[in-house]
């Protein structure tokens, strides 16, 4: 690193890193230079000319733009001379000349850099009385963003954001000279998944939020620093509320997480908070109907029933389902209630024990999440296995693109679909669902053939490795996995060569009975190529990590302690004043498959996942559902308890890199009798005779710190507004190589296509669907087919088809996509009116046929 | 390769010697537009009809310079130049071949227009067939390249260019040798050479003429530059409105390739160089080097702040040498004859010659090349033949929209970079528009401001908005609606736009206003206070009787 340079700005000595731009150096010295086009997160462009300063030189002082001029040793800069002031005035005069000055009806008013700078640096009066230019106003550039070309000052921030961060140049300058406008390209709406960030960075009201349009004035809202709850990235956001409603959500800077960007789902899909049709009072089934009752009646009923089932069938006949969408406090309370008061380990959540997740989450994600401006990315290679950040974790996607484009990191992608990130031309390993472990064996085999870059301990087992992986030869890769063997070799070579590779896999790749084999296969590969500390599992929900950390798992106690760990059991029995059950509990799937008589569901909707489960739920002795809405599962319940959701009650969420963050209460629901999940559980525990005294979420956090040592010290106050990461070093296990085998599903003539499923960002889920203005971007009930298969089947885009598996059938429309691999059919999860679960019915790998609808 | 060139030269000379007569027909754009192609065809037929085909060849050549008299035909053996030739004249011309020249068609060649020129860049213009590489070689072409590649190091090539004192002919006047040195020293294996042929100034057509008349000269200059700075790829960025120049250039590139002068091994050496053509879509700002680069990269043609200069960070982020057509065209003779020879021409700080395009109220409209330091007086009144009808030259506009108007009183100043600058104008690329008393200087300033306003790319605020404001104020003045406050505001805007614009277009856009205000302020005042246009051009209210006075040279020339 070169030494800092010293320069003088307005007589102040400033020390700055070489290459730093003058505008940033001035900020260090607390000297304000007005800007419009310049933005700390975007490359300089120098078009607004607002930041002109005088720089002394050998031939007198010159006016230069501070946003494009790098600092130099001995540079002498003046930002407050009469000439600078004159230029600033003139420039603002020019800008205001065409600006409509419709501030009273502009959403930006009150937080508008143009307003602020006009007050500070602008001319008092306008000398120019020419007519303003007339351009398009109220012009939709997507379903979410409105453009006003008259307000636009052509600073290019939106263009640059989409180019530099999204790598999707969807906005551009059109026409020339005074006629120049910003517009979409060829009439195509902006569809980048994080497009809303251009609203935040627009220095005027040219880009406004379609969903929140005219719904707030910046000075009238209450601002709450929070975190988003749509995915596991845990983007920091600010929730602006007024009169008990969320008026808008904007990004908030956290350089360890989201920089300052958030995705469009996080920004726009918030109508569900305090939305219509929310449950407001407890419901109890009487004569077959769910009718409103008092809290006491509902809770008494549940306590009585639970005790009856326990007496009749034992504690192991009772189960509880938690939720990765709900905060740590409530999940902790749930597992504590069922472990210590009921006495069962039948505790799980969706994608909990049924997915072979590692405990630790992303070990070094901070290295990827931090802006990768170039010379020092913390990882040089990223291997994504069965995960599609573009749809599942959009801000991770943004960071990955940045790491590749600016940081020179390389991407390897293994996915049954040719996902968007494959455009960066790293090796793409397509695979058939159900052949993951074979593919990993193939990778291991190719890695074992590398001459350099292998872990020295693992190398001593090379002979074994070669023997186990013998069958995963080129032919098996090509025929079974449908993977290009050359790409496998290239990927293995890259992993071996890499100094620091990060390997990320998601629930899609590790679900079901093959999950452990896939996890071990990944561990083998990570170990052999020397990246064992950087193998990571990411859940997809906002609190996937937290639900695991809290022990909402049938075989793990809070803090990832095994249920057999005597230390943990002793600690918890003392803390909870109880005797803990010793037998492992049932998983989510096992409980729903009929393993229990009474089920307590908090924030989950298994009935809509799978028809068979819905039927089984009907047959339970007791079904209690704690929910925001009357879901399919709630409709089948004996008791429905109205819960407060995210933003309605204080909670902490743990993101995919183990950062525990606060999501405080931002709105109240004065008309509702709903209660926080943990509070409901607390009251129920008391009804069941336990002495629980949690006054608020903070009290639970204090106890979590005692129950799970990794959470020690992570109190509400300590977390602050940037959160704190828990340390995974204590959970590191000794790496080992394990033989991995996978039973192949048989091909079928009747069902020629393999079903590929997964998550899309704009799905038809409850949280997204509540914002009706987003209906236009919601993915409809479609089945994706490769162009080759569509041609073979004689199907065109939009054709109505029946897709069937041995388990069931769905009516869908065809979407032809290059992303879909030949031989597979892609049906996203949670599509409105088309639960793909009908075809899977609990299985992970399924074959289907697609036929023209009759 | 040297032998091959010598052989071609010998064959060419032999072939030419077979003919008693060579009839050169100018087929550059100017003459073509007045029917040169038909004249050439008719001459050919006439020669055949007369049975003279074994003694007489009819050849298309590049620009003969005196565009005003086109179509031009030259009979070398008779030292006769004919002007305004029509198809009907061809029998007389052919008939006169063996007797005496046709006097009624003759254009006098003993005039200053021909005698005072010193043609270096234009040495082959009108002499050779631009579509045949052999003729360029016969005229000594590519010999400098072979010498450089076989006997000189790249550093020595740059030394010659530096010694020549050549300064950028695109108008900036940056020392060419220094630019080449910077690019040569820039690190990295990939470098580019770009020839800027996006000639866009109204009234300028020098580069077009050079490309049409002698394209190989530019190619040879670019190859030499590639060798000197270590580039292996060159681009010619030429405006699509120059179809003939593009055609000749394309032909020349493929001929040079076939001859082994372009490609992996240039002239049988280990040095490889290729040239591709990129077409500009007519945006004036794309003549600005960073905008030009953006345009080649397929981006919107608009400039970016410098530094970094293209010499360090240019095309695709690689060190890039950009010179204009005329600069490259000067290189072959510099290498052939030595930098010292070139430096002996011109003035102390402006060496060599400069090509100018004469237009406007001048008798000899056309292309000329004179040594630097020649006075405007000499150019306008002697070489240019003065104002048609013997009127007074009111002012000379140089440098296009970035330049200024130099009044009559200063015409005895020498033409070089520094003296023009001190007069409030610039050398520019060589457009020279002569105006007589029928020109209104407010109207001239308004014309150029309208040009800049239309051609502003819209990227930076002062140029995008300021040019519109200045235009509107000029319009107000020219229509008699302005006050003295408007004039003060205009002057203030000139200052702001000059000081704060991003690129040369905006920074120089006020120049025509500033220079006309400097020398012709009284005309502005007359418009404002007396509501009167002294030249009778501007229509002020209905009280001014002016109706159909042609709104004159600048507008015509812009075509």
Q: What is the CATH number of the domain that holds A379?
A: 3.40.228.10
Average the pLDDT over A722-747 and give the result: 85
The percentage of residues in chain A with a pLDDT greater than 90, rounded to a whole number, is 81
Answer yes or no: is pLDDT of A373 > 80. Answer: no
| Judgement on whether residues A701 and A768 belong to the same structural domain of the protein | no
The predicted pLDDT at position B97 comes to: 86
Task: Characterize A210-239 residue by residue with b for buried, 16 or more Cβ atoms within 10 angstroms of its Cβ, and e for exposed.
Answer: bbbeeebeeeebeebbbbbbbbbbbbbbbb
The predicted pLDDT at position A731 comes to: 82
| Judgement on whether residues A669 and A631 belong to the same structural domain of the protein | yes
Average the pLDDT over A491-497 and give the result: 97
| Judgement on whether residues A530 and A550 belong to the same structural domain of the protein | no
Answer yes or no: is pLDDT of B544 > 60. Answer: no
**Interval B330-382: pLDDT, tens:** 999 999 999 999 999 999 999 999 999 999 999 999 999 999 999 999 999 99
* Subunit contact B461:A47, Cβ cutoff 8 A: yes
- A134–chain B Cβ distance below 8 A for any pair: no
Domain CATH code at residue A316 = 3.40.50.740
Average the pLDDT over A623-633 and give the result: 96
* Distance from the Cα of residue A426 to its chain's centroid: 23
**Interval A182-229: pLDDT, tens:** 999 999 999 999 999 999 999 999 999 999 999 999 999 999 999 999
Average the pLDDT over A348-356 and give the result: 94
| Judgement on whether residues A289 and A406 belong to the same structural domain of the protein | no
Rounded alpha-carbon distances, angstroms, from residue B128 to A491, A506, B262, B367, B430: 60, 72, 21, 17, 23
The predicted pLDDT at position A807 comes to: 87
The predicted pLDDT at position B550 comes to: 39
- B153–chain A Cβ distance below 8 A for any pair: no
Nearest to A187 by CA among A136, A137, A140, A138: A140
Is A23 among the domain residues? yes
Answer yes or no: is pLDDT of B304 > 70. Answer: yes
Candidates A177, A185, A203, A374: best to mutate against B (most CBs of B within 10 A) is A177
Q: Is the peptide bond before B307 cis (omega within 30 degrees of 0)?
A: yes
* Subunit contact B461:A94, Cβ cutoff 8 A: yes
**Interval A668-681: pLDDT, tens:** 988 899 999 999 99
Average the pLDDT over B8-28 and give the result: 91
The percentage of residues in chain A with a pLDDT greater than 70, rounded to a whole number, is 98
The residue with tokens 């950390």 is A549
* Close Cβ partners of B353 (under 8 Å, ≥ 6 residues apart): B118, B119, B120, B121, B345, B346, B369, B370, B371, B372
Helix residue spans in A577-696 (DSSP H)? 588-590, 611-618, 632-635, 677-687
Helix residue spans in A63-126 (DSSP H)? 82-98, 113-121
B274-280 β-sheet, strand order: B274-280, B233-239, B192-197, B320-324
The predicted pLDDT at position A408 comes to: 86
| Judgement on whether residues A602 and A479 belong to the same structural domain of the protein | no
Q: Least CB-CB distance to A46: which of B469, B472, B502?
A: B502
d(CA A291, CA A191): 44
Average the pLDDT over A244-270 and give the result: 94
Which residue range is the domain that position A27 belongs to?
5-80
Three-state DSSP state, A218: coil
Three-state DSSP state, A852: strand
The predicted pLDDT at position A769 comes to: 82
**Interval A146-180: pLDDT, tens:** 999 999 999 999 999 999 999 999 999 999 999 99
The residue with tokens 């073509």 is B32
Answer yes or no: is pLDDT of B38 > 90. Answer: yes
d(CA A675, CA A296): 13
Nearest to B124 by CA among B143, B140, B106, B145: B140
Chain B contacts in chain A segment 673-712 (CB below 8 A):
none
d(CA A283, CA A341): 24
d(CA B354, CA B372): 6
The predicted pLDDT at position A374 comes to: 53
Answer yes or no: is pLDDT of B543 > 50. Answer: no
User: Is the CA virtual torsion A136, A141, A144, A147 positive or negative?
Assistant: negative
Alpha-carbon gap: A213 to the closest alpha carbon of chain B (Å): 28
| Judgement on whether residues A299 and A406 belong to the same structural domain of the protein | no
- A45–chain B Cβ distance below 8 A for any pair: yes
Taking 3-state DSSP, the helix, strand and coil percentages for chain B, each rounded to the nearest 5, stand at 50, 15, 35
**Interval B124-171: pLDDT, tens:** 999 999 999 999 999 999 999 999 999 999 999 999 999 999 999 988
| Judgement on whether residues A348 and A374 belong to the same structural domain of the protein | no
Q: What angle do CA A660, A645, A294 make, to 5 degrees?
A: 135
| Judgement on whether residues A590 and A518 belong to the same structural domain of the protein | no
- A66–chain B Cβ distance below 8 A for any pair: no
Rounded alpha-carbon distances, angstroms, from residue A15 to A9, A27, A40, A55, B176: 10, 11, 18, 17, 37
d(CA A266, CA A30): 33
Is A816 among the domain residues? yes
* Subunit contact A176:B472, Cβ cutoff 8 A: no
Average the pLDDT over A321-348 and give the result: 98
The residue with tokens 């002495």 is A691
The predicted pLDDT at position B342 comes to: 96
Q: Least CB-CB distance to B502: which of A49, A128, A176?
A: A49
- Per the CB < 8 A criterion, the answer to whether B491 and A78 are in contact is no
- Per the CB < 8 A criterion, the answer to whether B538 and B551 are in contact is no
* Subunit contact A177:B458, Cβ cutoff 8 A: yes
A66: its two tokens = 């501070």
Average the pLDDT over A321-349 and give the result: 98
The residue with tokens 């050398």 is B427
The predicted pLDDT at position A366 comes to: 65
The predicted pLDDT at position A365 comes to: 67
Alpha-carbon gap: B459 to the closest alpha carbon of chain A (Å): 6
Is A311 among the domain residues? yes
B496 chain-A contacts, CB cut-off 8 A:
86-87, 90-91
The residue with tokens 């072409």 is B141
Fill in the DSSP letter of residue B153. Answer: -
Rounded alpha-carbon distances, angstroms, from residue A840 to A194, A251, A806, A813, A852: 32, 37, 9, 18, 20
* Subunit contact B499:A97, Cβ cutoff 8 A: no
Nearest to A327 by CA among A631, A679, A667: A679
Average the pLDDT over A784-802 and give the result: 95
- Tell the burial category of B65 from Cβ atoms under 10 Å away from its Cβ (0-12, 13-18, 19+): buried
d(CA A507, CA A680): 30
- A176–chain B Cβ distance below 8 A for any pair: yes
Is A415 among the domain residues? yes
d(CA A824, CA A756): 6
Domain boundary among A712, A741, A774: A712
The residue with tokens 């995919």 is A656
d(CA A180, CA A787): 40
- A95–chain B Cβ distance below 8 A for any pair: yes
Domain count, chain A: 4
Arithmetic mean of pLDDT over chain A: 93
Is A718 among the domain residues? no
d(CA B301, CA B292): 6
Answer yes or no: is pLDDT of B552 > 60. Answer: no
B468 chain-A contacts, CB cut-off 8 A:
130, 177-178
Band of pLDDT at residue A667, cut at 50, 70 and 90: very high
- Per the CB < 8 A criterion, the answer to whether B35 and B71 are in contact is yes
Fill in the DSSP letter of residue A640. Answer: E
- Per the CB < 8 A criterion, the answer to whether A426 and A412 are in contact is yes
Answer yes or no: is pLDDT of B547 > 50. Answer: no
| Judgement on whether residues A435 and A575 belong to the same structural domain of the protein | no
HSE, side-chain direction, 13 A CA sphere, residue B265:
4
The predicted pLDDT at position A741 comes to: 86
Helix count (H) and strand count (E) of chain A?
28, 36
- Per the CB < 8 A criterion, the answer to whether B224 and B262 are in contact is no
Question: Other CB atoms closer than 10 Å to residue A133's CB: what's the count?
Answer: 17
Domains, chain B = 17-109 (3.40.30.10), 140-343 (3.40.50.11540), 353-436 (3.10.20.600), 441-529 (1.20.1440.230)
The predicted pLDDT at position A379 comes to: 87
Domain boundary among A537, A569, A598: A537
Answer yes or no: is pLDDT of B541 > 70. Answer: no
HSE, side-chain direction, 13 A CA sphere, residue A53:
28
How, if at all, do strands A639-642 and A622-627 pair?
Answer: parallel
Is A735 among the domain residues? no
The predicted pLDDT at position A730 comes to: 80
| Judgement on whether residues A532 and A603 belong to the same structural domain of the protein | no
Does this model's pTM top 0.90? My answer is yes
The predicted pLDDT at position A840 comes to: 83
Is A271 among the domain residues? no
Average the pLDDT over A339-366 and give the result: 90
Contacts 24+ apart (CB under 8 A), A15-18: A16/A71, A18/A70, A18/A71
Arithmetic mean of pLDDT over chain B: 92
Answer yes or no: is pLDDT of B557 > 70. Answer: no
* Subunit contact B457:A180, Cβ cutoff 8 A: yes
Helix residue spans in B408-539 (DSSP H)? 417-422, 441-455, 461-478, 484-500, 504-508, 511-529
Is A660 among the domain residues? yes
| Judgement on whether residues A513 and A632 belong to the same structural domain of the protein | no
Nearest to A550 by CA among A410, A359, A684: A359
B435: its two tokens = 């105006």
The predicted pLDDT at position A767 comes to: 81
| Judgement on whether residues A675 and A531 belong to the same structural domain of the protein | no
Domain boundary among A692, A712, A732: A712
d(CA A762, CA A768): 7
Domain CATH code at residue A816 = 2.40.40.20
d(CA B534, CA B437): 9
Candidates A94, A114, A132, A156: best to mutate against B (most CBs of B within 10 A) is A94
Length in residues, chain A: 854
Band of pLDDT at residue A772, cut at 50, 70 and 90: confident
The predicted pLDDT at position B391 comes to: 87
Nearest to B359 by CA among B451, B442, B447, B435: B435
């Amino acid at each position: 690193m070169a030494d800092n340079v010293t320069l003088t700005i307005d007589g102040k000595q400033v020390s700055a890193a070489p290459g730093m731009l003058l505008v940033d150096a001035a900020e260090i010295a607390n000297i304000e230079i007005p800007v419009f086009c310049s933005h700390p997160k975007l490359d300089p462009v120098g078009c607004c000319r607002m930041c002109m300063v005088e720089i002394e030189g050998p031939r007198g002082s010159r006016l230069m733009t501070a946003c494009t001029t790098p600092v130099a040793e001995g540079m002498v800069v003046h930002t407050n001379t009469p000439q600078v002031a004159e230029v600033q005035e003139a420039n603002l005069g020019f800008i205001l000349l065409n600006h409509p000055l419709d501030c009273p009806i502009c959403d930006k008013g009150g937080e508008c850099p143009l307003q602020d700078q006009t007050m500070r640096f602008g001319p008092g009066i306008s000398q120019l009385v020419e007519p303003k230019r007339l351009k398009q106003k109220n012009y939709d550039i997507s379903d979410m963003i409105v453009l006003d070309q008259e307000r636009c000052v052509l600073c290019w921030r939106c263009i640059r954001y989409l180019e530099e961060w999204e790598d999707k140049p969807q906005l551009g300058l059109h026409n020339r000279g005074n006629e120049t406008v910003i517009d979409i390209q060829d009439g195509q709406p902006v569809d980048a998944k994080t497009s809303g960030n251009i609203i935040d960075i627009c220095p005027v009201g040219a880009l406004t939020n379609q969903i929140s349009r005219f719904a707030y004035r910046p000075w009238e809202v209450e601002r709450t620093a929070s975190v988003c709850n749509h995915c596991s990235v845990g983007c920091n956001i600010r929730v602006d509320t007024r009169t008990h409603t969320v008026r808008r959500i904007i990004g908030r800077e956290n350089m360890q997480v989201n920089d300052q960007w958030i995705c469009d789902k996080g920004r726009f899909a918030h109508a569900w908070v305090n939305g219509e049709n929310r449950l407001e009072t407890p419901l109890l089934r009487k004569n077959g109907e769910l009718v409103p009752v008092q809290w006491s009646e509902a809770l008494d009923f549940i306590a009585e029933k639970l005790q009856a089932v326990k007496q009749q069938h034992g504690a192991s006949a009772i189960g509880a389902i938690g939720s990765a969408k709900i905060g740590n406090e409530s999940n902790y309370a749930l597992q504590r209630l069922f472990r210590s008061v009921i006495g069962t380990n039948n505790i799980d959540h969706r994608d909990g024990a049924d997915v072979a997740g590692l405990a630790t989450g992303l070990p070094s994600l901070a290295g990827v999440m931090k802006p990768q401006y170039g010379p020092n990315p913390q990882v040089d290679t990223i291997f994504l296995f069965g995960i599609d950040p573009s749809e599942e974790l959009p801000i991770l996607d943004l960071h990955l693109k940045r790491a590749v484009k600016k940081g020179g990191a390389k991407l390897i992608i293994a996915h049954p679909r040719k996902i968007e990130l494959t455009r960066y031309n790293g090796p793409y390993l397509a695979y058939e669902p159900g052949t993951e472990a074979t593919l990993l064996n193939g990778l291991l085999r190719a890695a074992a053939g590398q001459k350099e870059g292998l872990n020295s301990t693992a190398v001593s087992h090379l002979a074994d490795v070669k023997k186990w992986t013998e069958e995963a030869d080129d032919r098996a890769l090509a025929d079974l996995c449908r993977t290009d063997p050359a790409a496998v070799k290239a990927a293995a070579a890259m992993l071996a060569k890499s100094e620091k590779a990060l390997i990320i896999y998601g629930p899609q790749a590790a679900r079901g009975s093959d999950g452990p084999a896939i996890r071990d296969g990944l561990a083998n590969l990570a170990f052999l190529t020397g990246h064992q500390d950087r193998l990571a599992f990411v859940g997809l929900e906002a609190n996937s990590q937290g639900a695991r950390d809290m022990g909402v798992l049938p075989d793990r106690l809070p803090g990832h302690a095994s249920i057999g760990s005597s230390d943990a059991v002793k600690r918890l029995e003392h803390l909870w004043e109880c005797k803990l059950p010793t037998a492992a509990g049932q998983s989510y799937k096992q409980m729903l498959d009929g393993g229990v008589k009474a089920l307590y569901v908090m924030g989950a909707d298994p009935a809509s996942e799978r028809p068979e489960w819905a039927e089984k739920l009907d047959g339970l002795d007791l079904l209690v559902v704690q929910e925001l809405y009357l879901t399919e599962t709630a409709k089948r319940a004996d008791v429905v308890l109205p819960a407060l959701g995210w933003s309605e009650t204080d909670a902490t969420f743990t993101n995919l890199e183990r950062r525990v963050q606060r999501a405080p209460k931002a709105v109240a629901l004065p008309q509702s009798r709903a209660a926080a999940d943990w509070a409901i559980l607390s009251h129920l525990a008391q009804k069941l005779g336990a002495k629980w005294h949690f006054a608020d979420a903070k009290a639970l956090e204090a106890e979590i710190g005692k129950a799970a040592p990794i959470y020690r010290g992570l109190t509400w106050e300590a977390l602050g507004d940037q959160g704190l990461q828990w340390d995974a070093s204590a959970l590191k296990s000794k790496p080992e190589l394990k033989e991995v085998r996978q039973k192949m599903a048989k091909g079928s003539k009747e069902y020629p296509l393999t079903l590929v499923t997964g998550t899309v960002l704009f799905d038809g889920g409850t949280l997204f669907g509540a914002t009706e203005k987003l209906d236009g971007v919601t993915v409809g009930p479609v089945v994706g087919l490769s162009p080759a298969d569509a041609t073979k089947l004689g199907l065109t885009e939009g054709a109505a088809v029946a897709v069937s598996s041995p388990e069931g059938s769905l009516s869908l429309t065809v979407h032809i996509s290059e992303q879909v691999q030949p031989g597979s059919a892609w049906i996203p999860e949670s599509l409105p009116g088309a639960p793909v679960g009908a075809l899977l019915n609990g299985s992970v790998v399924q074959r289907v046929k697609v036929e023209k609808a009759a | 390769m040297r032998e091959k060139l010598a052989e071609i030269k010998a064959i060419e000379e032999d072939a030419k010697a077979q003919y008693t007569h060579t009839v050169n027909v100018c087929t550059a754009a100017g003459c073509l537009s007045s029917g040169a192609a038909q004249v050439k065809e008719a001459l050919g037929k006439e020669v055949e009809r007369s049975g003279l085909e074994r003694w007489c060849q009819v050849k298309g050549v590049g620009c003969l310079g005196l565009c005003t008299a086109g179509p031009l035909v030259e009979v070398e053996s008779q030292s006769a130049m004919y002007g305004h030739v029509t198809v009907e004249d061809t029998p007389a011309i052919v008939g006169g071949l063996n007797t005496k020249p046709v006097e009624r068609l003759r254009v006098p060649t003993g005039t200053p227009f021909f005698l005072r020129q010193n043609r270096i860049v234009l040495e082959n213009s009108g002499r050779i067939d631009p579509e045949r590489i052999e003729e360029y070689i016969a005229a000594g072409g590519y010999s400098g390249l072979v010498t450089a590649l076989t006997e000189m190091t790249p550093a020595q090539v740059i030394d010659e260019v530096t010694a020549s004192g050549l300064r950028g002919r695109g108008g900036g006047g940056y020392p060419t040798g220094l630019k080449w040195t910077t690019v040569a020293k820039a690190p990295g294996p990939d470098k580019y050479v770009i020839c800027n042929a996006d000639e866009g100034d109204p009234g300028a057509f020098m580069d077009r003429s050079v490309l049409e008349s002698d394209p190989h000269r530019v190619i040879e200059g670019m190859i030499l530059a590639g060798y000197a700075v270590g580039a292996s790829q060159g681009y010619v960025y030429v405006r699509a409105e120059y179809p003939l120049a593009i055609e000749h250039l394309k032909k020349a590139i493929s001929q040079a390739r076939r001859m082994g002068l372009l490609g992996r091994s240039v002239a049988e050496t280990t040095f490889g160089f290729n040239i591709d053509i990129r077409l500009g879509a007519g945006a004036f700002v794309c003549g600005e080097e960073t905008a030009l680069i953006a345009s080649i990269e397929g981006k919107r043609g608009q400039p970016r702040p410098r530094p970094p200069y293209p010499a360090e960070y240019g095309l695709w982020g690689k060190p890039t040498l950009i010179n204009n057509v005329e600069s490259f065209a000067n290189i072959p003779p510099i290498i052939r004859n030595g930098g010292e020879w070139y430096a002996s021409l011109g003035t102390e700080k402006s060496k060599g010659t400069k090509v100018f395009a004469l237009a406007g109220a001048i008798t000899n409209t056309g292309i000329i090349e004179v040594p630097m330091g020649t006075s405007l007086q000499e150019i306008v009144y002697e070489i240019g033949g003065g104002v048609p009808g013997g009127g007074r030259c009111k002012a000379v506009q140089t440098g296009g929209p970035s330049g200024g108007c130099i009044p009559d009183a200063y015409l005895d100043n020498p033409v070089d970079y520094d003296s023009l600058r001190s007069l409030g104008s610039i050398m520019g690329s060589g457009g020279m528009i002569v105006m007589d008393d029928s020109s209104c200087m407010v109207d001239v300033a308004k014309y150029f401001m309208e040009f800049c306003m239309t051609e502003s790319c819209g990227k930076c605020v002062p140029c995008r908005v300021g040019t519109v404001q200045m235009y509107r104020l000029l319009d107000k003045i020219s229509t008699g609606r302005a006050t003295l406050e408007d004039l003060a505001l205009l002057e203030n805007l000139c200052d702001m736009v000059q000081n704060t614009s991003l690129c040369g277009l905006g920074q120089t856009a006020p120049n025509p206003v500033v220079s006309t205000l400097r020398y012709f302020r009284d005309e502005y005042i007359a418009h404002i206070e007396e509501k009167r246009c002294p030249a009778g051009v501007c229509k002020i209210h209905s009280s001014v009787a002016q109706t159909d006075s042609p709104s004159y040279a600048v507008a015509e020339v812009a075509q």
